[in-house]
Amino acid sequence: MASNEPGPEFSGVVKWIDRRLPIFTMMHKEYREFPVPRNLNYFWSFGALASITLIIMIATGIFLAMQYQPNTELAFTSVERIMRDVNYGWLIRYVHMNGASMFFIVVYIHIFRGIYYGSYKEPRELLWILGVIILVLMMATAFMGYVLPWGQMSLWGATVITNLFSAFPIIGEPIVTWLWGGFAVDNATLNRFFALHYLLPFVIFAVVFLHVAALHIPGSNNPDGIDPKGPQDTVNFHPYMTAKDMIGIAAFLLVYAALVFYAPNFLGHPDNYIPANPLVTPPHIVPEWYFLPFYAILRSFVADWWFFQVFLGWWGMTAKLAGVLAMFGSLILLAVLPWLDTSRVRSCKYRPVYKWLVFLFVIDFIILGYVGGKPAEGTYVIVAQWATLYYFFHLLILTPFVGWMERPKPLPASISKPAVAPAE
């Protein structure tokens, strides 16, 4: 609900620029006067935190790129040179490395907010889809970034994941060779991953711009999920939200600093401090933690199911291909969540049944993450398969069904006037 009042009066140089390119008017309208529901909680700070993380990643990344050598003979040593010989190189590297984890932490919480409070529902569907696109771009960027230090996990993680594309019948193998630029993950692959890893964050930046632009048309959702009815329900973005976001930023930086300065390798894997060796496979190939739930989904489909033995060879559906499709499907399904959810009520605050299903979904995601990091043996496989099934069950069956069947709690009259004596 952007205001249509005339903008502020500027003077001097600012006025001269603004008349020719109204960036100051735009900033004033979008980030100063912009009406924001006054009942937002701290979950609403995570979008800002994500933007800040993106900027930190780009800044540190550019300065790392000045020192890094994208060649298989030199890459590992160049990273160690950064750690040891470049002034503050260790700081920039650890900030960048843990920044990737912080980025996913912040984005996963941001997504949770969206799911719980129904921020993906009309009229914010496109905003949500842009968000899923950002998530996918982040995953591609992070995947390629992890290859660059050229440790054992870099090489073998890249090998396992790029090999997945061979699951596609007929076009699979040529695609993999094309991705690799050779017959295995090697120098050609490393070089192109570096180029793309440098490029994609700027693509993310552009999509984030669209994402925020799409947000500013309807304005922010809020914990009650009901639209603001007037100025009594909102506050100006500045100074109220800027002050609130400062708290978020301080807390975020404290967590980030704890990692960078006191546990910089906690989220990583020691094997990546061993230089890549194409002749030695590590005992357990594990992606970074933020990929684990999707890795678990991927590995859930095993070749000794009767389904694959019956259909195998018919139309090319192998366990491997099913795993790949399920993994990508799990992300694509998220994108269509606005259409899967049939409820007319946005926020889980007023959805007594679905609220618990959302918590279950989160727990399921965590379970998937846990088994994703374990060897694909024994009970872990069974658990992963059930957790994968539940993931899709939640999205495809529970979400639409509960949306129809649920009786929501009565919504408050407005944001600034909560309903009389709430039940609890």
Partner 1 sequence: MSESTETGHASEDGGSRRDFLGMLTMATAAVGAASFAWPIIDSMNPSAEVLALASTEVDLSAMEVGQSITVIWRKKPVFIRRRTPEEIAEAEAVPLDDLSDPQTDEERVQNPEFLIMVGVCTHLGCIPLGQAPGDAKGEFGGWFCPCHGSHYDTSGRIRKGPAPKNLEVPAYEYLSDTLVKIG
Partner 2 sequence: MTMSMKSLGIGKSRAIGRTLLGAAMALMIGGSAAQAAVGITPPSQDWSFNGVFGKFDKASAQRGLQVYTEVCASCHSLNLMYYRNITALGYTEDQAKAFAAQFEVTDGPNDDGDYFTRPARPSDRFAAPFENEKAAAASNGGKAPPDLSLMVKARMNGADYVYALLTGYKDVPPAGSNIPEGAHYNEYFPGHQIAMAPPLSDGLVEYSDGTSASLEQAAKDVTMFLAWTAEPEMEDRKGMGVKVFLFLLVFLGLAIANKKRLWAKLH
Residues engaged in binding partner 1 (CB under 8 A): 32-33, 35, 38, 59-60, 63, 66-67, 81, 84-89, 91-92, 231-232, 234-236, 238-240, 243, 246, 249, 253
Active site residue 244: yes
* Given 370, 386, 392, 393, the residue binding partner 2 (CB under 8 A): 370
Partner interacting with residue 35 (select from partner 1, partner 2, none; CB below 5-8 Å by kind): partner 1
- What is the x/- site pattern for partner 2, positions 202-231, by CB under 8 A? ---------------------xx-------
Those residues whose C-beta lies under 8 Å from the C-beta of residue 149, and which sit 6 or more positions away, are: 75, 76, 79, 272
User: Which residues are bridge partners to 236 per DSSP?
Assistant: 35
The residue from 220, 300, 330, 347 that is catalytic is: 220
Close Cβ partners of 33 (under 8 Å, ≥ 6 residues apart): 3, 236, 237, 238
Among 64-72, 136-144, 317-325, 411-419, which window interacts with partner 2 (CB under 8 A)? 411-419
User: How many positions of this chain bind partner 2 (CB under 8 A)?
Assistant: 74
Binding to partner 2 by CB under 8 A, coded x per residue (else -) over 49-88, reads: ----------------------------x--x--xx----
| Tokens coding 92 | 């920039």
Give yes or no for residue 107 binding partner 2 (CB under 8 A).
no
Q: Does 386 bind partner 2 (CB under 8 A)?
A: no
Q: Which does 20 bind (CB under 5 to 8 A by kind): partner 1, partner 2, none?
A: none
Q: Is 288 one of the catalytic residues? A: yes
What distance in Å separates the CA atoms of residue 183 and residue 187, rounded to the nearest whole number? 11
Closest to partner 2 by CB, 288 or 341: 288
Which one of 18, 271, 288, 406 is the catalytic residue?
288
Q: How far is the CB of 253 from partner 1 (least distance, A)?
A: 8
Site string for partner 2, 17-56 (x = CB under 8 A): ---------------------xx-xxx-xx----------
Q: Is 216 a catalytic residue?
A: yes
Residue numbers annotated as active site: 216, 220, 244-245, 288
